[in-house]
Amino acid sequence: MNRKFVHNLIRLREARLREQTAQLKQASRGLTDIRNQHDQARCSAAQSIEAPDTLAHLEVLGQSRIKLARLAIKAEEQVRGMTEKVGHARKLSDSARQAGTELQRAVVSERERSMETEAEHFFSWSKVFGR
């Protein structure tokens, strides 16, 4: 493999991983916000039961809790899907880094073999000419 190609591949896969991670964090924050709103609606509903003048708002609070629960389910599914995408992107990034490391080892090994061959040629040449 070409060193430049592997380097570009590593950069692209790591950029993709950062992008997927940022999207996961954003979706996770959205899920947290939805859960917080759901908890606030639950608390408001509990408080409205205690006061007779706010019982009229109980229906609206119940509908909002149902809506927020549905949104939370969708957001959880989205976060799970993004978690899988981040895992896949991490595996791809790791494999690209590993390929880069293997390529670097191969280049170093080839260079060492070349130097050994040159040294052998030099010593055999110097023996022939008696130096």
What are the mean pLDDT values of the chain's consecutive 10-residue runs (131 residues total)?
Answer: 85 95 96 93 82 76 90 95 95 93 92 89 74 56
| Number of Cβ within a 10 Å radius of residue 68 | 20
Burial zone of 83 (CB within 10 Å; 0-12 exposed, 13-18 middle, 19+ buried) = middle
Question: What is the structure's pLDDT at 131?
Answer: 56
Query: Residue 44: CB partners within 8 Å, gap ≥ 6?
Result: 57, 61
Q: Can you give the pTM of this predicted structure? A: 0.72
| Number of Cβ within a 10 Å radius of residue 86 | 19
